[in-house]
């Protein structure tokens, strides 16, 4: 990804190098590192997250008081950029704070690529279980264990080469990612060698939707689970990644979903943006193509204080529309579940009015035209109310929960979701411990018999007694531990 006005010093071949050249060089300067960043509301580096075969750095951001069971977003920068740069400009922090989720920012460097591009074109680095793709998967596992994230709501987005890698990750790990967003990027496995990269960038590949879809299906043969929901962002004046890539991405992911290439609905958004939505068999948006008229190569942002505004402008951050806002809503991170069609505004004044050891009470201001209200905990609907108050029950003691509320009209259409609030139940939360099996035994939380490790109290089999296997144990009562790898 290169700026077209950089003194004319780069020609078409250099543009290919921006997304595709791999050389050895110096690494980039990173922020101060910490080995176990907490939900402190600051961007921090995690220095240990696995074997890291792709030689990437891991940065993460989580709002203070992040509730367990929250979503997780992985955001990949473009060429010449860094994790901190992407965090500062892209707008993801605003919505992480507002709607309650964590963000992981993988970072590559000039040691991997001369212009710090992710290697979306290299089958030794962008396929399941290999290289950079495997490193990102290890980051996801680490963050999920750290924050107790909801594994069914892990998403990935990326710009330019990061967008190409995003498409590859969605194809490699449909069992990990519930959705993705490819910004000014390329279809999954469009190129498998550096030589083929420039062809994908600049010209149509003339493949059928099925041929594009097969590239996804062949990335994880035999997979039969649900496919990720994919948002595609493309500028009509992009000369670094030709606009045809947006169409090819649309063809690829609609074919994977088994739906046609005719939009189910189309609407006009701000910034000269046209949104074309392709619904699945249930009528829910599976693929969305956002075409931004006149936009060159970059990420669409829209600075301002409005609910649908975000980000700051800069090199490759272009002032048209807040793509992060619309992507987050498409995924349902606002608590709507994704694909909401209602026109009612977001309820204001959502407040926690009281908590107990097992419950939380909420109230909010009425919305004109609302027949009822949906209440969401951590992005999942937990109930509805016809009044402007609701009490959620069956919660764990000493635990933080994130809530949003959306108004529902008489036809059942769900409107925009409120800003999130956090309710923390009274009492003490169960203690959780993440460590390898050897360490768990040494700490007295587990024991080993016959070469295998068992959790004290529950007796659950944790696998071989060694340092290669890591689990999270939750102490539900004194001396009684259960495996809690999916969230504590």
Contact 443, 433 (CB under 8 A): yes
Distance CA 208, CA 197 (A): 19
Q: 473: closest CA among 427, 429, 440, 439?
A: 440
Q: What are phi and psi of 54, to 5 degrees?
A: -90, 0
Structure tokens, 439:
């360490």
Residue among 84, 135, 149, 160 flagged as catalytic: 160
Q: Whose structure tokens read 């090199």?
A: 315
Residue 476 CA, chain-centre distance (Å), reads 30
- Annotated active-site residue 160? The verdict is yes
Q: Whose structure tokens read 């009015």?
A: 353
Residue 261 backbone class (left: φ over 0; alpha: ψ -120 to 50; beta: rest): alpha
Q: How many other C-beta atoms are found inside a 10 Å radius of the C-beta of residue 353?
A: 12
Residues belonging to the active site: 160
């Amino acid at each position: 990804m290169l700026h077209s006005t950089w003194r004319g010093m780069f020609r078409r071949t250099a543009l290919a190098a921006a997304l595709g050249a791999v050389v050895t060089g110096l690494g980039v300067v990173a922020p101060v590192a910490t080995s176990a960043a907490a939900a402190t509301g600051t961007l921090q580096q995690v220095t240990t997250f696995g074997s890291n075969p792709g030689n990437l750095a891991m940065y993460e951001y989580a709002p203070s008081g992040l509730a367990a069971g929250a979503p997780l977003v992985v955001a990949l920068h473009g060429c010449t950029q860094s994790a901190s740069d992407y965090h500062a400009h892209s707008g993801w922090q605003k919505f992480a704070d507002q709607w309650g989720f964590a963000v992981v920012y993988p970072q590559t460097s000039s040691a991997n690529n001369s212009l710090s591009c992710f290697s979306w074109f290299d089958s030794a680095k962008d396929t399941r279980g290999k290289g950079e793709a495997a490193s990102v998967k290890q980051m996801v596992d680490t963050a999920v264990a750290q924050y107790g994230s909801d594994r069914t709501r892990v998403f990935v987005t990326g710009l330019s080469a990061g967008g190409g890698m995003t498409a590859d990750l969605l194809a490699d790990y449909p069992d990990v990612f519930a959705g993705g967003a490819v910004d000014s990027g390329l279809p999954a496995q469009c190129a498998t060698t550096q030589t083929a990269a420039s062809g994908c960038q600049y010209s149509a590949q003339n493949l059928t939707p099925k041929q594009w879809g097969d590239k996804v299906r062949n990335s994880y043969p035999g997979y039969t689970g649900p496919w990720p929901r994919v948002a595609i962002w493309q500028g009509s004046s992009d000369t670094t990644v030709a606009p045809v890539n947006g169409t090819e991405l649309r063809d690829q992911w609609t074919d994977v979903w088994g739906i046609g290439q005719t939009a189910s609905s189309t609407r006009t958004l701000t910034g000269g943006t046209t949104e074309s939505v392709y619904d699945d068999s249930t009528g829910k948006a599976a693929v969305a193509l956002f075409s931004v008229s006149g936009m060159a190569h970059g990420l669409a942002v829209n600075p301002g204080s409005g609910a649908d505004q975000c980000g700051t402008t800069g090199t490759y951050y272009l002032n048209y529309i807040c793509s992060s806002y619309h992507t987050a809503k498409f995924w349902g991170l606002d608590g709507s579940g994704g694909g909401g069609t209602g026109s009612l505004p977001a309820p204001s004044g959502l407040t926690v009015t009281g908590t107990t050891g097992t419950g939380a009470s909420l109230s909010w201001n009425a919305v004109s035209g609302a027949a009822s209200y949906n209440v969401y905990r951590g992005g999942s609907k937990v109930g509805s109310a016809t009044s402007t108050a609701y009490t959620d029950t069956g919660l764990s003691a000493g635990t933080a929960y994130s809530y949003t509320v959306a108004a529902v009209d008489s036809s059942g259409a769900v409107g925009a979701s409120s800003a999130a609030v956090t309710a923390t139940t009274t009492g003490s939360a169960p203690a959780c411990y993440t460590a390898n099996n050897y360490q768990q035994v040494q700490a007295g939380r587990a024991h080993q018999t016959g070469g295998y490790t068992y959790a004290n109290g529950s007796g659950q089999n944790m696998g071989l007694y060694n340092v290669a296997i890591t689990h999270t144990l939750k102490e539900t009562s004194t001396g009684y531990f259960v495996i809690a790898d999916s969230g504590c």
